[in-house]
Structure 1
């Protein structure tokens, strides 16, 4: 029996030792023991390689602007662990997390003694989310973000009202496959019988796989540049503007507060899903709710400007696709700036490609290590880089603080890489920037 938040969190994190174990048998076993809470809620399922969290946020914000109470399950966290299970963007409180851990632990211990083996950290957290939204806090709908892949992901026991696949990239190839088509097949595993699928996948081979799976499941499909199009895009100082054309209507000059052209695709998927829910009479979603929701949507750690002076940006670009989006924004928005990048990554990523793109854009690049089981060493990253102005750093905390002190008017600091690193770095940076403001 856990009595403190720290005890519960330590137990959850200790399950990282079990690694990643794709499959639904353990989840189904736990759900059966809990009287199948996953069947007691309305849900939308969001998968893809990049943009899942942003799409979840856009859809939540739209529905919330319409007056609904929205649950979300996302991963990983940026500012605090509890945010993985949230209601209207507000993380569950510590007391609730302890309560959930005490519900799931006996099941985990019992499951450990079966041939299925104990549940992983992610399976435990997913089970907690299902129990929470079914039994502790009832909401109008829950938006579930896929953890890894789709077909065998722990969240894939739900029967959603709609499914979303944001895009397909070559990430987690050691688990999901080495080609776009193989990965697409795993992602398309969230497509359910006669349940609409909304996608922004552009890779022809990957899209074909998704279309085949949709056809097999008789699932209506809505594809970027076919059933809907994005045009009139403009970048603003702190966001984006674009027009979305669908078969239902044309929504002109939709405005986002989240930065990055790729966010227009994520936002469009959210709008389409919201329009579908409205069209089917499941929820009432007005154009005003769409516009207000998109403007209000905020997701930490995604091209987030932490300070204008000095200019400090943090971005969880944790794979090649994320780095491509980041470098595109930096080259178009800040071509006149002296860009200093601080980068950390996990060893299972395509480090050569990622660092190559960063080398091309950075005036200076620093590589750091951080405390995580799969984290790459700074020296390993340094040896990959071809930059003429590179550095490996042992203590990233003190290094970041010193670098921010030295930033000049035309300089900018971009802290990027693993989301696990970003979650550690952001509070340190924010605390330092706050102290600067107070001292001024």
Structure 2
């Protein structure tokens, strides 16, 4: 192809660039690093010029990334943040100092990477996936456009073979290990822990809040093999809840070098205290190893100001409607605990939509005992579980609640709002793909894009 032809076929709009990225979705999830390594090699390894904080775990990854980003930005550092899936638009997943990626930069970078992606697609390796291309775009955006001091780098799935594991970080973080993506990561907590522990690199410190003995044993083994120091919640650092009410939790942190009392967060759910403590310990390790300076008052205000969309997020007051992406048993347990400890209501009305490949029975067992009425629906996603199949599973588990089957999530939402009285609480939960759709509609985000 000539240079003139290349210019003629280049994308000129954000929509064109985004559509091309999303055209790669059918290639699915293919664990492995061969394609991303080849792509980075062709761009002269831009990842080697960046300082990563790599975050893995079953739940809490996004919240920990949000805490770290907010505190570091308030401390005066420039921070790139890579997370997934997105809630409003594709550029949500690639942020710089808390602001979405510039759409014009996305167009420019897509035009740059597209020829390489298509050349690899024609080889025996096959086409790079949407997530592989997104990861490459994020690295190029940070290494060639924004030059952050740190990149807060969220794992997509697992760790060992996840595309993000192509980097060598300053610090590895493993929030927890739970029952999610078991069709890919393994059918036991030990197997899943081994996949997540795959982000541990030689000599790189590790902060974790894993609690199960078999998972902890795996982390200890992997850290020892890599000669990496492991900082484990309950051993090298501790957190203790001091007070809890809606939109404010106060806790104390005790680390190896100092203790901090009366730290406050506005994110709800007891699990968010643990996530905040993980972030504080990560910052303590960065201070010890790399002289990262965060004043105590900056830490306190940064923690308090942190928000994360779609996680115990109250998006409406009339009626009161809460969004929470509890898509696995551990997430459902955290939601159930918050519904009992944090929120008050007369009746609880829940709208639920799931994907096919989740541990639904264990998830339902946490939620069903609390529910007065349950509306079962379907997310608009290629791997959705049908409302009828999910309702049948609910019936098998047993629920004293009223059960409504409404496949159309928009009509389901209308029914949920209509039946929620002034003293009641409505909750939309399940897959984040449903949460993203509902959130966009309730907050009137006309520029909303489906979050892959």
Which among 29, 48, 55 is matched to residue 46 of structure 1? 55
Three-state SS of the structure 2 residue aligned to 1:342 is strand
Is 2:195 the partner of 1:182?
Answer: no
Q: Distance in 2 between matches of 1:233 and 1:324?
A: 21
Three-state SS of the structure 1 residue aligned to 2:315 is strand
Q: Deviations over 1:220-240 (max 9, x none)?
A: 110011001111432122131
Alpha carbons 2:240, 2:251 under 8 Å: kept: yes
Alpha carbons 1:46, 1:52 under 8 Å: kept: yes
Partner of 1:202: 211
Which among 63, 68, 77 is matched to residue 68 of structure 1? 77
Unpaired segments ≥5 residues, structure 2: 1-9, 446-452
Alpha-carbon deviation of 1:339? 0.6
Is 2:40 the partner of 1:31?
Answer: yes
Partner of 2:439: 426
Three-state SS of the structure 1 residue aligned to 2:165 is coil
Partner of 1:269: 278
Three-state SS of the structure 2 residue aligned to 1:155 is helix
| TM-score with structure 2 setting the length | 0.93
Partner of 1:438: none
Alpha-carbon deviation of 1:296? 0.9
Q: Which runs of 4+ in 1 moved over 4 A?
A: none
Alpha carbons 1:400, 1:429 under 8 Å: kept: no
| TM-score with structure 1 setting the length | 0.96
Alpha-carbon deviation of 1:79? 2.0
Which among 354, 373, 395 is matched to residue 363 of structure 2? 354
Alpha carbons 1:193, 1:219 under 8 Å: kept: yes
Q: Deviations over 1:405-427 (max 9, x none)?
A: 44311111101110111111101
1:341-420 equivalences in 2 (<5 Å):
341-385=350-394, 386-387=398-399, 388-420=401-433
Alpha-carbon deviation of 1:294? 0.3
Alpha-carbon deviation of 1:282? 3.6
1:246-395 equivalences in 2 (<5 Å):
246-334=255-343, 336-385=345-394, 386-387=398-399, 388-395=401-408
Three-state SS of the structure 2 residue aligned to 1:222 is strand
Partner of 1:233: 242
Three-state SS of the structure 2 residue aligned to 1:156 is helix
Aligned length: 432
Q: Deviations over 1:296-318 (max 9, x none)?
A: 11110010011233211001111
Which among 57, 63, 66 is matched to residue 66 of structure 2? 57
Alpha-carbon deviation of 1:335? 5.3
Is 2:25 the partner of 1:16?
Answer: yes
Is 2:225 the partner of 1:216?
Answer: yes
CA RMSD, 1 decimal: 1.3
Partner of 1:6: 15
Q: Distance in 2 between matches of 1:334 and 1:275?
A: 32
Q: Distance in 1 between matches of 2:199 and 2:290?
A: 23
Q: Distance in 1 between matches of 2:410 and 2:109?
A: 33
Three-state SS of the structure 2 residue aligned to 1:414 is strand
Q: Deviations over 1:74-127 (max 9, x none)?
A: 000112221100011111122222222212211110111221111111101001
Q: Distance in 2 between matches of 1:340 and 1:325?
A: 17
Q: Distance in 1 between matches of 2:158 and 2:200?
A: 12
Alpha carbons 2:253, 2:277 under 8 Å: kept: yes
Q: Distance in 2 between matches of 1:357 and 1:271?
A: 29
Q: Distance in 2 between matches of 1:273 and 1:354?
A: 30
Partner of 2:179: 170
Is 2:133 the partner of 1:121?
Answer: no
Q: Distance in 2 between matches of 1:360 and 1:148?
A: 30
Alpha-carbon deviation of 1:394? 2.5
Alpha-carbon deviation of 1:130? 0.6
Partner of 2:450: none
